[in-house]
C-alpha cells in the first residue's frame, strides 16, 4: 500500500525529465480568452483592462510587507504590464471573492511556471484547481534545491512539525513523521507526536477521505511515514493543516 501511495501522490514528479522548466509538458488547460493587464496588485494578483481582478491559480506569492514581496510584484509587472495575455482554466474559474482564478500565459511563457522557477512563489493549490499541480511542484522543487529567490530567505523556510504552532495563521510547508492517526466523527486526524492534544496534525474531512479513496489512497497508510505537507496552519496549542487534495502531501 505504501508503494502504491507513493506512486500515486508523487511518483509523477520523478518521471519528469531533468530539463529546463520551459520544456515541461503542460496539461490541457481549458482556453479562457485574451485580455490586457492594466495593473499588478501584488505577486499573484492583477487587474485586467475589462475591470476584472485576476488571481493566479495554484500559487502563493510573497504577500505585501513580507520579504521579496516587491521583487515578486516587479517580476510580474515586467512579464505582464501592457501585454496581451491568455487565460486558461484548471478548474473553478472564480473564488469566493469573485476574482477570476486562472493559469496565465504571456506569449509562450507560463506565468505561474516562471514565478515558481525563479523562486518567487510557492505551490498552494486547491481541491477545485488541481490541473497542473504536478508540473508546478516540479518547478518549485527545482528552485528550492537551487535556493533561488524566497528559498534563500528564512522567512520561507520549510518548518519542522514540532515548531508548527509558532506559525499559526500563515501558509507554510511543514515536514515531519506521522506517528499515529484516529477517526473522529467521520474525519481522520494524523498526528506528528504521541500526545495528540499538543501535536501538529493533519485533518481530513469526510469529502477529502472520499477523494483520496477514489484515487486508491488510504490516508491511514501514511502513519509511520515522513512527509512534507503544505497549507494554512490553524490553531496554536494544537496546530492543524486541513488537507483537501492529495497534492498537498509529499512522502519524503
Per-residue pLDDT averaged across 182-207, rounded? 93
* pLDDT tens, residue by residue, 153-174: 999 999 999 999 999 999 999 9
Using 50, 70 and 90 to split pLDDT, how confident is the model at 141?
A: very high
> According to the model, what pLDDT value does residue 126 have?
93
62 has pLDDT over 90? yes
* Rounded average pLDDT over 98-113: 95
12-152 against 158-251: fold identical: yes
Cβ contacts of residue 248 below 8 Å, gap of 6+? 125, 229, 230, 231, 241
- Identify the residue with better confidence: 237 or 19: 237
Residue 54 has pLDDT above 80, yes or no: yes
Predicted pLDDT at 235:
85
Q: How confident is the model at residue 18 (pLDDT cuts 50, 70, 90)?
A: very low
pLDDT of 158 reads: 98
In this predicted model, what pLDDT tens digit does every residue of 213-245 receive, in sequence order?
999 999 999 999 999 999 999 986 799 999 999
pLDDT of residue 25: 72
CATH 2.40.50.140 fits 158-251, yes or no: yes
207 phi and psi angles, rounded to 5 deg: -70, -30
DSSP class of residue 219 equals G
| Burial grade of 7 (CB within 10 A; 0-12, 13-18, 19 or more) | middle
Q: Is the pLDDT of residue 109 over 70?
A: yes
Maximum CA extent, the chain: 55
CATH domain 12-152 topology: OB fold (Dihydrolipoamide Acetyltransferase, E2P) (2.40.50)
Residue 50 has pLDDT above 50, yes or no: yes
CA distances from 222 to 171, 212, 228 (A): 22, 12, 11
Mean pLDDT over each residue of the chain, to the nearest integer: 89
Please give the Cα distance from 234 to 95 (Å, whole number).
21
| Partners of residue 241 on adjacent β-strands | 202, 233
Task: Supply the pTM of this predicted model.
Answer: 0.86
End-to-end CA distance of the chain: 16
Give 118's DSSP letter.
T
| Positions of E strands within the chain | 30-42, 45-48, 53-56, 59-60, 84-89, 100-106, 109-110, 122-123, 159-160, 171-177, 180-184, 187-191, 201-204, 226-234, 240-243, 249-251
What average pLDDT does the segment 198-210 reach?
95
pLDDT reported for residue 162: 95
Given this model, what pLDDT does residue 198 score?
82
Q: Would you kindly state where each structural domain of the chain is located, as residue ranges?
A: 12-152, 158-251
Q: What pLDDT is stored for residue 106 in this prediction? A: 95
Amino acid at each position: 500500500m505504501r508503494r502504491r501511495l507513493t506512486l500515486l501522490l508523487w511518483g509523477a514528479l520523478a518521471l519528469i525529465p531533468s530539463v529546463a522548466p520551459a520544456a515541461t509538458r503542460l496539461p490541457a488547460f481549458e482556453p479562457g480568452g485574451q485580455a490586457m493587464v492594466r495593473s499588478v496588485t501584488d505577486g499573484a494578483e492583477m487587474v485586467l483592462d475589462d475591470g476584472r481582478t485576476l488571481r493566479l491559480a495554484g500559487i502563493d506569492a510573497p504577500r505585501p510587507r513580507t520579504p521579496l514581496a516587491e521583487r515578486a510584484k516587479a517580476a510580474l509587472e515586467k512579464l505582464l504590464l501592457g501585454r496581451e495575455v491568455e487565460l486558461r482554466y484548471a478548474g473553478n474559474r472564480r473564488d469566493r471573492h469573485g476574482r477570476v482564478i486562472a493559469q496565465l500565459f504571456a506569449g509562450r511563457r507560463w506565468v505561474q511556471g516562471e514565478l515558481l522557477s525563479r523562486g518567487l512563489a510557492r505551490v498552494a493549490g486547491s481541491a477545485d484547481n488541481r490541473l497542473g499541480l504536478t508540473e508546478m511542484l516540479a518547478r518549485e522543487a527545482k528552485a528550492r534545491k537551487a535556493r533561488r529567490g524566497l528559498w534563500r530567505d528564512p522567512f520561507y523556510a520549510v518548518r519542522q512539525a514540532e515548531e508548527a504552532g509558532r506559525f499559526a495563521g500563515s501558509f507554510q510547508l511543514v515536514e515531519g513523521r506521522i506517528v499515529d492517526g484516529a477517526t473522529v466523527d467521520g474525519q481522520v486526524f494524523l498526528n506528528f507526536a504521541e500526545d495528540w492534544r499538543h501535536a501538529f496534525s493533519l485533518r481530513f474531512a469526510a469529502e477529502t477521505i472520499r477523494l483520496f479513496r477514489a484515487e486508491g489512497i488510504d490516508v491511514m497508510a501514511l502513519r509511520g511515514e515522513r512527509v512534507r505537507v503544505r497549507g494554512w496552519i490553524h490553531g496554536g496549542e494544537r496546530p492543524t493543516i486541513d488537507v483537501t487534495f492529495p497534492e498537498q502531501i509529499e512522502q519524503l
